[in-house]
Amino acid sequence: MTGWTWEYEGYAPADERLRESLCTLGNGYFATRGALPECAADDVHYPGTYVAGCYNRLTSEVAGRGVENEDMVNVPNWLPLRFRLAGGSWLTPDGTPVLDHRLTLLTESGMLERRTRYDLGGGQVLTVRQQRVVHMADPHLALLRTEFTAEGFAGTLDVEAALDGGVTNAGVPRYRDLDGRHLTHVHTGTADPGTVWLRCRTRTSDIRIGMASRLTADAPVTVRHELPCAVQQVSLGLAPGRTVTVDKTVALHTSRDPAISDPLYAAVDRVGRAPGFDELLESHLTAWDQLWRRAALDVAGEAGSILRLHLFHVLQTLSPHTADLDVGVPARGLHGEAYRGHVFWDELFVLPYLNLHFPEVSRALLRYRHRRLEQACTAARQAGRKGAMYPWQSGSDGREETQQLHLNPRSGRWLPDHSRLQHHVGSAVAYNIWQYCEASGDMEFLHTKGAEMLLQIARFWADSAVYDDRLGRHRIKGVVGPDEYHEAYPGARTPGLDDNAYTNVTAAWVLTRTLELLDALPEPRRRELVERTGLDGGELEVWEDVSRTLHVPFHAGVISQFEGYGDLAELDWDGYRRRYGDIRRLDRILEAEGDSVNRYQASKQADVLMLGYLFSPAELRFLFDRLGLRLDDETWHRTVDHYLHRTSHGSTLSGLVHGWVLARARRGEAWKYCQEALQGDIADIQGGTTGEGIHLGAMAGTLDLVQRGLTGLETRGGALWLDPVPLPELSSYGYNLRYQGHWGVRLHLERGRLEITVPSSDATPIDVRLPDRAVSLAPGETGHLVLPD
């Protein structure tokens, strides 16, 4: 990696899946993995293309029972372009000797380049150079330019380009027992001599997909249709040292798109009107340049290069085009089929970054949740609860998509999956609403859709709380926390844990903030809300009581992850590391041994410590004070130490949260975990999972670590609050942000000094708060502030 460029030298089949994920190109509407166009899907290559929000539901027979799953669909493959010398075999790096192979991801320009030199024998070499773009200015276009150069020979090169509608969802080995045939009714045709089309639909969601491809070369293009493919052919004359070029331009539409009548017509029309490669590339580069200006990030060295890669993939999944779509945050981006493209709580790590750069995207993602509020209320009623119970995994319509069974690859057993009990996802939705409105100043959203969601989430928590006379406190029972390892008490017949500290404290926060909001609403709007929801004063009194009396368990002077956690056995961590080496997925190891992680004080990822990720030290103390509990620095530091030594870090989010928390609790150890978060996908530290899709929450979280974690940045009360914690390994950095109508506010920190520049505009001054002073900066002003030691 050098600055903005990621380069892979040599062809390594074992690394192809990882490279394909990390070299995915997208624009927020769709994305295509970085597979080689001449290679079909097999155990080495997987050329998937995914459209945001395009899901389909199928039922499969698993372990003797019907299991229903909804998946983000692998849509028809637009990439195929293969080549051979006339009369010869098709060339691929798996079947033809390769002299040189280089794959280069140009993040600044959103382009993937490849250069391969094929050894054809007898001193004959064919050099293939390709430039690939998924267009950032026009979200329905993709481009592939291929240049062929002969060395030491002359002859005829046959080239075939195709649209392939025979694809399936087969990118995750542990899902292969599930039905992955999502496409049906595949038809192909010819629009004009240089353009072919393909149309199909999903099997149950009935989403119609239209795709059109234009092939341009200095030779006649012929067409043949071999269902499920539309194939274009061209024969090119090769001469030593002379380069010949083939351009493939593709348009993609679905019936979910606004302002079209038919996706096939729209695709054919769009590709017909599209200009040539060079002109399209120019507008694509302009679009990326604008994105990079809005999200400018100045971090030196290796960390800076990795952060720019992370930002690149965040913007490819959630771009300004996302603001026009009804989509959520797919946990693995648009980069692969892991987690089936579902929406989890990962937006908790993504939206805080987007809020300060692309608030229109954050608003759209929150509207995805609001459109599914009715479904969340229905789920709560079916569970015997009031309010809104958002699903742990969401897809097209907001119903619970969490699988009933999951496969342990170590034991080969299908096991019950109880992760749907992670009701804390509702608190994540509420937190994101609050953070977005504080950062953007969007009071209209807060008073309307935001208030409606907050009210119903608060109502769910209040109704879930049960008063315990013995404790004199309210309790929330039968849940699963962020740790995910612990789903039940040892030997229990039913799943669920009582009084997960993270769940209870965040529930108290939701109730507190919602009460504040209801009190601050304009009276006409408050009346509307009360009338629509049947809210009454008695219910608000219950909320107030529950928000102050939720039980938070302690043991041995630390916050307990849940009631009874301190009674669990200690694990022989050193022994398991000696036996297995990598114990990140300790749950799978123990299950394969016939044991259960439910028996041990062992966590997959941060659970209690997530409280230190979401809340500043001052806000966390406020929440505990409100609950009538004491949380001093000594207790918090003991809690951090306790869980630090009992966490296996089986999630890419774990290093991120621990680095964030340790930056304030134990600075000397923070960088180790920050490094793990940075390396999570590029080094594939979870052991092969990145090849199935990047970890979007962890990538966005590393950006937010620089933006908010290390600066102590909070947006509250109409001010920017800053309390930086310098790390020796990252002592100088800067970035732009957008804050309440101010575009391009520039923050730069270096050696105990903070510089803030507010660009000229007609907006009001920004109120900046530091621990020891307050500063007001008007548009056009720059503040130079010396930070306290």
Alpha-carbon separation of residue 548 from 126, 424, 468, 473, 667 (angstroms): 73, 18, 14, 9, 32
Strands (E), 86-152: 98-106, 111-121, 124-134, 141-151
SS3 content of the chain, % helix, strand, coil (to 5): 35, 30, 35
Q: Is 151 a catalytic residue?
A: no
Token pair 């074992």 is found at 14
- In degrees and rounded to multiples of 5, residue 624 shows phi and psi of -70, -40
Burial profile 449-469: b = 16 or more Cβ within 10 angstroms, e = fewer: bbbbbbbbbbbbbbbbbeeee
| Residue from 209, 172, 458, 191 nearest 341 by CA | 172
CA distance 711 to 379: 39
Task: Please answer whether residues 207 and 217 qualify as being in contact, where contact means their C-beta atoms are separated by less than 8 angstroms.
Answer: no
Retrieve residue 149's tokens. Answer: 């150069």
> What's the rounded Cα separation, in Å, for the pair 351 and 314?
11
Distance spanning both ends of the chain, measured CA to CA: 35
Judging by DSSP bridges, how do beta strands 719-721 and 766-770 pair with one another?
Answer: parallel
Measured torsion, CA atoms of residues 727, 731, 735, 737, in degrees rounded to the nearest 10: 40
Strands (E), 165-306: 183-192, 195-202, 208-217, 222-226, 229-238, 243-254, 297-299
* From 160, 484, 539, 676, the catalytic residue: 484
Tokens 């041994």 belong to residue? 593
Residue 409 · residue 174 · CB < 8 Å: yes
Q: SS in 3 state form for 346-368?
A: CHHHHHHHHHCCCHHHHHHHHHH
Quick check: 563 and 499 in contact, CB under 8 A? yes
Indicate if the alpha-carbon torsion angle 533, 536, 541, 544 is positive or negative: positive
Active site residues: 484
